[in-house]
Structure 1
Amino acid sequence: MSSENVDMLSRLPEEIVSHILSLMPTKHAVRTSILSKRWRYSWMFVTNLYFTENIRHSHGLDSFSEFVDQVLKFCKSPQLNLFRMHLVTLCWLQRPSVSKWIDKAIRLNVHELDIQVNVLELPLSFFTCKTLTKLRLDHIAYDHDVWESVHLPCLKTLDIAIYTNPLVNAFKLVRGCPILESLSLEVQCCKDEEDYLFDVPTLKRLKLTLYCSQSFNNKVVLIVPNLEYLFVGGNLCSLFVMEDVSSLVEATVSFTNLSIGYLWVELLNGLYRVKSLSAQADGFPYLGNTFCSPLPTFPNMKHLELKGFCQSGLISKFLESSPELKHLCIEKVYELLLQEPGYTSWIEPKLVPPCMLTNLTTIKFSNCKGHKCDIQFLEYVLGNAEVLKKVTIIWESMSSELQLPLCTQLLKVSRASQDCEICFHARPLTLIS
């Protein structure tokens, strides 16, 4: 309010008011209609619609459905930038209701759809929407025949979760997006005879999460010549065939089962060109004989992150296979694996890895509990890495009384690099030398 008691907010241009209201949940935007006559219809021109609810009772679901119906009935925006519906409820939401709401959003020339509901059926208008550029769907109930006619000519970002018949649902949708650049796909793998083929020349980012209880004979084939970033996670249940990933720069692999060693090694073979690699093991950090086979040489890799693995031999193998490595990050797990073979001692490479002589400059060791193999590894790199600039050690669940002797031991190690700084971090202890 100015000194003359003029409502400056209400005097803003209508497009500015509409933009402000578009940044808040739709139910809050609608409430502004009671402020004054000036505000009565402003919410109708919002360009974003947000419907996010946690509903526990059927009468709440009825009220929510009626509210969405009314909002879409009176919405007068010529173009929707975003239609988002995140609905958490144990009540049964009728499929036709959601389908009708999506259809209305499409008729309002929506650019981005973000739908997370417990059951979903897509309207026919969705499959040929010409304005959609970004799509996120959590689950889909479908009609098989409809997917044959998918054509989304402007869609660049697709994030979907498919739990039944991925060949019918997911891949036919992907093939209907001619300029797709970013794809996040979560699928429940089936005993499909056909390979999972990703032949998408325009794709730059791919996040693929697979869920299955056994290995399958079908392959995951990547023909993505412009792909720059790849994430693969979930369960490693199929052989990956990298036919064309010539532009790949960064990759993350994160699995809950790595017992099928040849699938893991073959996946790494396909990623040998990457400059940055993050390998994560969730739930199965000890891999037994998984890494008996030689790792590929990574001639371009500058950054390596190993997270969740416990055996020291794996670190040694990666160092030997990465001649250009500059930055190494390690986060170890321990739990009940202290007695596993190959865990209690650091396995020194037969020769000092080339990266330690010419390139390796930083090491970050997280979750360090000061076990024998950890200290041996740290002593080895300090004594052999000739261009090392900084080693950061983050102690985990250790008292100061236990940390101090280990810090002292490492500080006394003769360093191959005179410029190397060692930083210790833990609560409440922090030392730098």
Structure 2
Amino acid sequence: MGSENRDRLSSLPDDVLSHILDLIPTKLAVQTSILAKRWRHSWKYVTKLHFDDMRSFTSLDSFTKYVDQVLKLYKTTHVKSFRLDCEMLVPSATTLKWIDEAIRLNVSELEIHPIPLELHRPFVCKTLTRLALCWEDRNITFPIDLPLLKTLDIKVYSNPNLNAFKIIRGCPLLESFSLHVFQDLGDEEYYFNIPTLKCLELNSFRGIYIKKVVLNVPNLEELFVSGRLWSPVVMENFPTLVSVTLSCSRGPELDQSWVELLTGLSGAKSISMRILGNNPSISPMPRFLNLKHFEFRANYSYPLDWLLINQIIESSYELEHLCIKKKPKHPFFDEREDSCWIDPQSVPACMLNNLTSIKFVNFKGQQSDIPFMAYMLGNARVLKTVTIMWDSIPLEEELQLKAELLKPPRASRYCEIHFIASGSRSTST
């Protein structure tokens, strides 16, 4: 309130008020219409319509009437973001009616999940740039035309060939594609032939065995693979790859497939890896000629595999930054012993010329933790920074760990070691 008891918020221009209302849930924005006469119509000009608060409605009928009324009174001719996230079963015809209304409003970003949706006619939108769908097993038989779409996120329960890949064909400018498959019958082949794609995310939560995954994406820069993708992956075209994140389960019978996968990714500049499964070491390990940053993340269920880390270091001639992330102590998971660290027969080339930083998260001082750090400190000639992070521990135990880590000689005269205890002390030397 101003000095003269004037409501300064209500005197803001309409576009500023609409921007403010865009920052709160749509239902609350609509409720501001009762504040004052000045606010009666302000909500009608918001650029985001998010209908994802069904719990506050007593029935599906009341929710449906609410959405219909909002869309009827809405005044703007362009809605930036339209989201529909329902816990109740909304009829497909009703959902399609709302999607038609969003298209009429020149929607830019559309999110529909987790609603059974059956497209029984062509799906055309000339303004859509981002589409997110959670899809059941619905076969698309009608044309898809999304000429400006750049981002596509799809979750399907099975058989993405029936829908997800058909949508891709109608997106000539697609740059980012995320596919989550909840369950697969194991007899499909996934072909990603997308020349414009820059970012690809594949996730299979309960996949059994996909027959084959073929990647022909000549402009891909970022790749994320997670879940149980235990299938052969054929890498046909990866000249521009920059960043790779792997968080996968694998079976021992697919060792050769993993060699082929990593060979296809060997041109990446950054790799973050978490491989779940027994004996995850890869042989023969391909050479990573461009790798600058490597991160290995441990998992609660499996111990840290030092042999695999050793293989990566020996195969990465240009490696500059190394990060090891152990999992913090967890009350529901037993602590498993890591594999033993074994010094390489010869010092890896990256440690002689390029490795400048090492970060060790959740350091525990276990069987191989200190020998690993002693080897790195004693052989990395251009090392500048080592960061050791651990959970808060008794001061006496912390001082003992620091003493152990400071004993080994350092090959680099300029190396600094930073000790960071979560939530408390941090020191450097």
Contact 1:364 1:392 in 2 (8 A): yes
* Farther-moved stretch of structure 1 (179-188 vs 11-20): 11-20
Pick which of 92-101 and 221-230 moved more: 92-101
Q: Distance in 2 between matches of 1:64 and 1:292?
A: 53
Aligned to 1:210: 204
Aligned CA-pair RMSD: 2.3
1:43 corresponding residue in structure 2? 43
Q: CA deviation at 1:266?
A: 1.9
Instruction: Give the distance between the partners of 2:206 and 2:30, measured in 1 at CA.
Output: 44
The answer to whether the Cα contact below 8 Å between 1:212 and 1:235 also exists between their aligned partners in 2 is yes
The whole-number CA distance in structure 1 between the counterparts of 2:104 and 2:120 is: 12
Which residue, out of 97, 101, 104, partners 1:100? Answer: 97
Q: What SS is found at the alignment partner of 1:368?
A: coil
Q: Following the alignment from structure 1 to structure 2, what is the Cα–Cα distance between the partners of residues 396 and 139?
A: 42
CA contact (8 A) 1:236 1:263 kept: no
1:370 to 365, 368, 371: 365
CA distance, structure 2, for counterparts of residue 203 and residue 220 of structure 1: 16
8 Å Cα contact 1:301-1:324 kept in structure 2:
yes
Structure 2: which amino acid aligns with 1:405?
Answer: Q
Task: Supply the distance in 2 between the matched residues of 1:177 and 1:406 (Cα, whole angstroms).
Answer: 56
Q: Which amino acid aligns with 1:79?
A: H
Change (3 A) 1:239 1:80: same
Structure 2 residue identity aligned to 1:301: L
Residue of structure 1 equivalent to 2:133: 137
Higher mean alpha-carbon deviation, 363-372 vs 252-261, is at: 252-261
The residue aligned with 1:400 is 395
Matches within 5 A, 1:1-400: 1-55=1-55, 59-87=58-86, 89=87, 91-117=88-114, 119-122=115-118, 127-140=123-136, 142-146=138-142, 149-188=143-182, 190-191=184-185, 193=187, 195-216=189-210, 218-257=211-250, 259=252, 260-281=254-275, 284=277, 287-288=278-279, 290-291=280-281, 293-308=283-298, 310-333=304-327, 336=334, 338=336, 343=339, 345-396=340-391, 398-400=393-395
> Per-residue deviation at 1:429?
4.3
Change (3 A) 1:321 1:102: same
Q: 1:339 to 1:63 in 2, by over 3 A?
A: same
Alpha-carbon distance change, 215 to 121 in structure 1, aligned in 2, over 3 angstroms? closer
Calculate percent identity across the aligned residue pairs. 48
Task: Give SS of 2:52's match.
Answer: strand
DSSP-derived class of the 2:259 partner: helix
In 2: Cα distance, 1:74 partner to 1:206 partner: 39
- TM-score normalized with structure 1 length: 0.90
For 2:123, give the aligned amino acid: F
For residues 417 and 45 of structure 1, the distance between their equivalents in structure 2, rounded to whole angstroms, comes to 62
**Equivalent position of 1:431 in the other structure:** 427
Deviations 1:290-319 (A, max 9, x none): 425121100110000000151211121111
Answering whether residue 408 of structure 2 is matched by residue 413 of structure 1, we say: yes
Matched residues, number: 419
CA distance in 1, matches of 2:420, 2:120: 57
Distance in 1 of aligned mates of 2:152 and 2:357? 36
For 1:110 and 1:84, the matched residues in 2 are separated by 10
Q: Distance in 2 between matches of 1:65 and 1:347?
A: 64
Other structure's SS at 2:37 match: coil
Partners of 1:9 and 1:122 in 2: how far apart? 45
Contact 1:121–1:141 under 8 Å retained in 2:
no
Letter in 2 for 1:406: L
The answer (yes or no) to whether the contact 1:22–1:47 under 8 Å persists in 2 is yes
| Cα gap change, 1:380 to 1:44, in 2 (>3 Å) | same
- Measured at CA, do residues 252 and 292 of structure 1 come closer, stay the same or move farther in structure 2, by a change above 3 Å? closer
**Cα deviation digits, residues 299-346 of structure 1 (max 9, x gap):** 110000000151211121111000100000001359657457xx1x31
Runs of 5+ consecutive residues of structure 2 not aligned to the other structure: none
CA separation in 1, counterparts of 2:119 and 2:42? 29
TM-score (norm 2): 0.90
